[in-house]
Amino acid sequence: MIHTDTLTRRLYAADASMYEELPDAVAFPQNAEDIRALVRAAYLKGTSITARGAGTSLAGQATGGGVVMDVSRYMNKILQAEPQRKRVRVEPGVIRDSLNRELQEHGLFFGPDTSTTNRCMIGGMIGNNSAGSFSIKYGTTRDHTQEIEAVLSDGSMVTFGPLSRIELDEKLRLDTLEGYIYRGMIRIIQKNRQKILDNFPHPEIIRRNTGYALDRLCMMQPFVADGPPFNLAVLLCGSEGTLAMTTAATLTLADIPTNKLLLIPQFRSLNEAMEATVRAVKYEPAAVELVDDIILNATKGNREQARNRFFLEEDPSCILIIQFEGNSEEELREQARSLEEDLKKSKLGYSYPLVEEPELMERVWDLRKAGLGLLMGLGKDSRSPTFCEDTAVRVKDLPEYVKDFRELLARHESSCVFYAHASVGELHLRPVIDITTDMGLQKMKVMAEEIAELVRSYRGSLSGEHGDGRARAPYIEKVLGPEMMPLIRQVKELWDPHYLFNPGKIVKPEAIDKDLRFSPDYVPSESITVFKWRKEGSFADALELCNGAGVCRKRSESGGTMCPSYMATLDEKDSTRGRANIFRQVFTGTEPEAFSSEDLNEALDLCLSCKACKSECPANVDMARMKAEFQHGRQEQEGKSVRTRFFSETAMLYRLASRFPALSNTFLRSPAVKALLEEFVGISSKRQLPEFAKQTFEEWWKSRIPENPGAEPVVLFVDLFTNYHEPQIGKAAVRILEKGGYNVRIGEGMQSGRIQISRGVLKEAQQIAHDMINEYAVYASRGIPVIGIEPSEILTFRDEYLDLCEDEYLDRAGMLAHSSYTLEEFLENALNRFNPRNSGNKGPVILHGHCHMKALKGNEPAIKVLNHFGYQVQELDAGCCGMAGSFGYEKEHYDLSMKIGSQRLFPAVKEKSDADICASGFSCRHQISDGIQRKGSHIAELILRAL
């Protein structure tokens, strides 16, 4: 249960905040009894416990120097659903979206909706009192938490819930820590009720989470006769794991609204949007979310989010995403129309698109939810540390508050992003400050003081939902006043007199600038690399890209591809974030471990190099490239393994094997040979190895006379796999292009360097890249398209070459990248040349896109082309197939490879037994064949059939 190895401790040193603190150990409790044992052990050893779920907290409350307790791995069960009572009992590691998927069949859901709902957990939501976009309608987590089962600091198990007067009296008489807590809390409120109500944030502010929620207890029985029953679960919500360790919670649920629509007014200025917000909330929306131009501009450079910009007109300074919910479509439209007319009359905004289709509304919200990650990935020149991003004021104060905040920014010569929950007066404000300089660090500290004073002047809340943590706890006294701090300390010491639970958060905090991940003491990497890291600026800059937002921790059922190994193992080391954290830690500092690091080598072992992180990660971390760089550096120190030599010298081995294809195939099917390959090369004997064709594509090409001489030329890049294993696909591509009236030429080079890159053999890959640039850029310079069959191979021209080549090749590499196409991309722009035979329905096709294609372009070209040729296409959201080139052939990776395929891809393909399978990736087709014994077709084969 307790792990003290350096890899695990490093993985849990950071969260999504600006802090990094190496814990002494990490625990993975499986149940409440494990947590009790952990608490007792911590008491005896005098160490602390920091509870953690997904680690997406922004104020540093999920970092700590004692034991970090991760509940996500095992304590993730829905314990009891009671639809008729509209409530559910869950363990703290249950993911919010996973919970709502289970509740959907009952027409119910858990209302708080943070931007991290596909990975954030109920325990973390309780700790932070999370709220999200719909808090104007559904409130905060506190409003939906009926009971909390918890372990107290003496190891006792207690359930906190609503109590009648008789039940409360019974609790007060208990001769236990629980009774001591009840007596102390009642005494604190009785003595200080009016003082608390006078000093805490204004009660009109829905999202007020500064300090402990004493003001909420003041409004309960027995202090207010007709108030709600006394319930200390309300206090635990927002307590950031400083008072007790949650083992389970009972939540209340809401009905899923029947109808929804979005009105998205767009503005020339932030001031307009703030004035519009004040008007909008009068129309009883379910959400009013602000997104400013900094985030909107960041979506342009993110392939995943660029497609979600469909509703934008021109380049607005900011937009409001306003959702209306209810049972009547007409009533919702009337609400939206009335608000639109109000805004027009008030000259607020210039465009007011209405979005009603569920799929399109989901895309709008995807863009909004990507905001935080996009911000955190803008690079070192746009660093915006999370020290003041969570303030909240009354909605009617928002225009003036924003004006004052902008004046504060101007005084400090800083800029800021403004976005998020305008409907409840909470904006996420992220000033740009470079805290790796002494001047920047000092600026942050001064601004933190001034912002706290500004919040106090509006009787606002320093934290609306992200918590006080390490970042805001030093300023609680400034916001609530000096009289409140003794009360807050009393609360902490009633519950946790020995400061076992998450010390330094809320009470007795360290200075804001202690344990910073980036500070003036930060020493960036100076490692020499083969890749040039041109887009990022340097390898050191690439190491700093990951911001900890944890999008890579989403589960398989949430969709997308990133990160396939994490989806299968649920181990932090197998997430992109985990690997990126280890990368940064071992490559930076005064004495970096760099390429000799065993921790990083282990963390990278299950990376499939699928490149999904390059598009799905908001910061566009390219872990595949980072892994290749590490493998190269390690091989430079230790030499290449037999396995690496075997795979990276595929071209030579294929030439030898193809001379006697029948003999080679018999040889490779032999159990004895497969056993030898498993023993000496590491290829799993469970795999069916691809067979060599009787005639290679190259032999076929040399034996025929090309058609259409003198016509518009195109060059077909035929890769090794097509040439030696599946020449029929190359033949199909040639025939399709010739039917389109093209004069097809074939390049001589058949290696892109993809194989070598995936094995970290980067010097050889670079030489191949230079050779291919020399050959194929000649065509590109004459405007001749270069078309590839295997997506990962041709996309290497577009992606890695631009970063792998030396400077003297860069112009030609850019020309080649601009002229390189997958077959489906090229055909998408040439469909007018083709008339499908017997045009009409050719039958259903399920499309599984190659990971690299999805990451760099998407499946849209394939869908458009297949539709044109008469197929009824269904795109599968099935993630990575799990093969990933040589990864799935390796004996130690075989089981994981099949587990990844079994999560979504295999079931989806089995379900569509009557449909053709379109999978343009060589690895994908062979994984489907090995996994469920069905044959997949390359898109070229399906198109030729239609022609």
CA angle, 511 as apex, 506 and 512 as ends, to 5°?
80
Tokens 């795109």: give the residue: 875
Dist CA 397 CA 460 (whole Å): 10
pLDDT band at 516 (very low <50, low <70, confident <90, very high): very high
In the predicted model, is pLDDT for residue 378 greater than 70?
no
The pTM assigned to this predicted structure is 0.94
Contacts of 103 (CB under 8 A, 6+ apart): 81, 83, 88, 109, 110, 253
pLDDT band at 376 (very low <50, low <70, confident <90, very high): low
> What token pair was written down for 803?
């970063």
Q: Provide, rounded to the nearest whole percent, the portion of the chain with pLDDT above 70.
A: 99
3-state SS, residue 607: coil
> What token pair was written down for 223?
């202090």
Which of 338-352, 360-374, 596-610 has the least mean pLDDT?
360-374
In the predicted model, is pLDDT for residue 381 greater than 70?
no
Mean pLDDT of 44-54: 96
Q: What is the pLDDT of residues 814-855, one digit of tens each?
A: 999 999 999 999 999 999 998 877 667 789 999 999 999 999
CB 502 within 8 A of CB 508: no
Dist CA 916 CA 847 (whole Å): 9
Q: What is the pLDDT of residues 224-272, one digit of tens each?
A: 999 999 999 999 999 999 999 999 999 999 999 999 999 999 999 999 9
pLDDT of residue 306: 85
3-state SS, residue 425: coil
Q: What is the pLDDT of residues 110-164, one digit of tens each?
A: 999 998 999 999 999 999 999 999 999 999 999 999 999 999 999 999 999 999 9
CB 18 within 8 A of CB 516: yes
Mean pLDDT of 501-522: 96
Nearest to 296 by CA among 271, 321, 262: 321
Dist CA 647 CA 652 (whole Å): 10
Alpha carbon distances (Å) from 907 to 117, 193, 527, 851, 895: 25, 59, 44, 18, 17
First and final C-alpha spacing in the chain: 61
- Identity at 743, one-letter amino acid code: N
Element (H, E) at 339: helix 329-345
3-state SS, residue 458: coil
Mean pLDDT of 378-404: 88
| Region for 626 from its dihedrals, namely left if φ exceeds 0, alpha if ψ lies in -120 to 50, beta otherwise | alpha
Dist CA 256 CA 108 (whole Å): 5
Alpha carbon distances (Å) from 263 to 58, 311, 325, 371: 30, 10, 11, 19
Contacts of 101 (CB under 8 A, 6+ apart): 557
Q: What is the pLDDT of residues 195-223, one digit of tens each?
A: 999 999 999 999 999 999 999 999 999 99
pLDDT of residue 947: 87
In the predicted model, is pLDDT for residue 298 greater than 90?
no
Q: Would you tell me the crossing angle of helices 762-781 and 623-638 to the nearest 10 degrees?
A: 130
pLDDT band at 863 (very low <50, low <70, confident <90, very high): very high
- Identity at 651, one-letter amino acid code: A
Return the percent helix, strand and coil in the chain, to nearest 5: 50, 15, 40
- Identity at 515, one-letter amino acid code: D
Mean pLDDT of 612-617: 90
Mean pLDDT of 564-584: 97
- The average confidence (pLDDT) of the chain is 95
Q: What is the pLDDT of residues 881-935, one digit of tens each?
A: 999 999 999 999 999 999 999 999 999 999 999 999 999 999 999 999 999 999 9
Contacts of 906 (CB under 8 A, 6+ apart): 928, 931, 932
CB atoms under 10 Å from CB of 30, counted, come to 12
CB atoms under 10 Å from CB of 902, counted, come to 15
In the predicted model, is pLDDT for residue 282 greater than 80?
yes
User: Between 372 and 137, where is the model more confident?
Assistant: 137
Letter string b/e over residues 104-135, b meaning 16 or more CB atoms within 10 A of that residue's CB: eebebbbbbbbbbbbbbbbbbbbbbbbbbbbb
pLDDT of residue 382: 67
Q: What is the pLDDT of residues 307-331, one digit of tens each?
A: 899 999 999 999 999 999 998 999 9
3-state SS, residue 283: helix
Dist CA 82 CA 92 (whole Å): 18
pLDDT of residue 710: 87
Dist CA 140 CA 131 (whole Å): 4
Q: What is the pLDDT of residues 405-429, one digit of tens each?
A: 999 999 999 999 898 999 999 999 9
Q: What is the pLDDT of residues 440-475, one digit of tens each?
A: 999 999 999 999 999 999 999 999 999 999 999 999
Dist CA 729 CA 719 (whole Å): 11
CB atoms under 10 Å from CB of 191, counted, come to 11
pLDDT of residue 838: 66
Phi, psi of 631 (to 5 degrees): -60, -40
> What token pair was written down for 873?
């296409």
CB 914 within 8 A of CB 844: yes
In the predicted model, is pLDDT for residue 299 greater than 90?
no
pLDDT of residue 377: 58
3-state SS, residue 715: strand
Tokens 């030609």: give the residue: 812
Residue 517 DSSP label: S
> What token pair was written down for 580?
């990126």
Biggest CA pair distance of the chain: 98
Dist CA 326 CA 810 (whole Å): 56
CB 600 within 8 A of CB 586: yes
pLDDT of residue 689: 94
pLDDT of residue 841: 79
pLDDT band at 621 (very low <50, low <70, confident <90, very high): very high
pLDDT of residue 733: 97
Dist CA 485 CA 506 (whole Å): 10
Handedness of CA 222, 226, 227, 229 (dihedral sign): positive
pLDDT of residue 373: 65
pLDDT of residue 303: 73
Tokens 């990490």: give the residue: 26
Nearest to 562 by CA among 597, 602, 614, 519: 614
pLDDT band at 372 (very low <50, low <70, confident <90, very high): low
Tell how far CA 743 is from the center of its chain: 44
**Helical H segments across 819-904, by residue range:** 823-828, 851-856, 860-868, 894-903
